[in-house]
Amino acid sequence: MTAVAGTLAVAVVGPTATGKSDLGLALAERLGGEIVNADAMQLYRGMDIGTAKLTEAERRGVAHHQLDVLDVGEDASVARYQLEARRDLAEIAARGARGVVVGGSGLYVRALLDKLEFPGTDAAIRARLEERAEQHGPRLLHDELARLDPAAAIAIGPANTRRIVRALEVIEITGQPYTANLPEQVYVVPAVQIGLDCDRAVLDERVERRVERMWEKGLVEEVLGLLLHGMGRTAARAVGYAEVIAMIRGEGDEAAARAAVVANTRRLARKQMTWFGRDPRVHWLDSRDPDLVERALEVVAAADQGSSGDEAAGGARRTLGA
């Protein structure tokens, strides 16, 4: 994709519950932009409360792309997202507008902005690996992955059957380690990334409040409705949904489900901190800064002008959650 000369895409990234949607919306309004979603679960129609998706009214007339593009029975595809979201950015630029990418799904952000090529798939290989996982458990496959690609095994937990199977599938198809196909920190889409940082204690409190609001808005009822439509594996495993589904199936009561959503959301936030914290190009801002929007606009202006070189475009790397 070729961006309009002098126009960088703006990406607002970081852990959940730091206010990415609000900042992205404010930047789009100030910069004449349109938003491209980079939250994997917000791709799904009907998954609104549990993903904290902005309502139509809350979007304030700003165009949003890559929201509500999948049925809950479909499995999300990073490769398909890359193709379609890059096309969205190209069309936004062609209209003379600014693309504002907003989301905390690290692989989706990297697939959109960075050099990342996707190996093909092989249904027969995948089916064979899935059958082995079903018969012998994911631990056996994870041990095999550890032998073939130790770095991938460290990055992929032994309980993540889907990713273990995919890693082994890629290794068999390409004859290369799975990690050889991971994204490089090389922009294909010229961009400036703004990360929202937050004190961990404050973030934990925000997560708890967010889960309370989700319950008040009707998360359980939302999940019940989605189950009637038949949720696929990807949607059913989303944080906030998996725990409610377990409760509906009789695996614990409502209090236990709420506590699990809080704990797993906090765990997700830590993973997001680690993921984005590894990228030295992200310019980190304090999510609690009362002048956050102005600070972010300064980062964008400096990157546009090239006045501060790599520091303006990439930002100073610092420890998250201090």
Domain boundaries, the chain: 9-116+184-314, 123-181
H helical segments located in 95-160? 106-113, 123-136, 138-148, 150-155
Of residues 31, 27, 3, 10, the one with CA closest to residue 90: 3
- 14 marked ligand binding residue: yes
The pTM score is 0.83
- 77 marked ligand binding residue: no
Rounded distance between C-alpha atoms, residue 259 and residue 272, angstroms: 20
Tens-level pLDDT at each residue, the chain (322 residues): 433 334 899 999 999 999 999 999 999 999 999 999 999 999 999 999 999 999 999 999 999 999 999 999 999 999 999 999 999 999 999 999 999 999 999 999 999 999 988 878 899 999 999 999 999 999 999 999 999 999 989 988 898 898 899 999 999 998 988 877 777 789 999 999 999 999 999 999 999 999 999 999 999 999 999 999 899 989 999 999 999 999 999 999 999 999 999 999 999 999 999 999 999 999 999 999 999 999 999 999 999 987 344 444 444 433 333 3
107 contact partners, CB below 8 Å, separation of at least 6 = 78, 183
Instruction: Give bridge partners of residue 65 from the DSSP assignment.
Output: 36
The token pair that represents 188 in the structure block: 């294909």
Q: How many CB atoms sit inside 10 A of residue 212's CB?
A: 12
CA angle 263, 266, 272 (to 5 degrees): 145
- 21 marked ligand binding residue: yes
- 18 marked ligand binding residue: yes
Instruction: Pick 123-181's CATH classification: 1.10.3720.10, 3.40.50.10190, 3.90.1150.10, 1.10.20.140.
Output: 1.10.20.140
Asked if residue 54 lies in contact with residue 60, where contact means CB atoms within 8 angstroms, the answer is no
Task: State the residue for tokens 């050889």.
Answer: 180
* Distances, alpha carbon 71 to alpha carbons 33, 226, 303, in Å: 27, 10, 37
The token pair that represents 216 in the structure block: 């008040």
Same fold, 9-116+184-314 and 123-181: no
3-class SS at 174?
helix
Q: What is the CATH number of domain 9-116+184-314?
A: 3.40.50.300
Separate counts of helices (H) and strands (E) for the chain: 14, 8
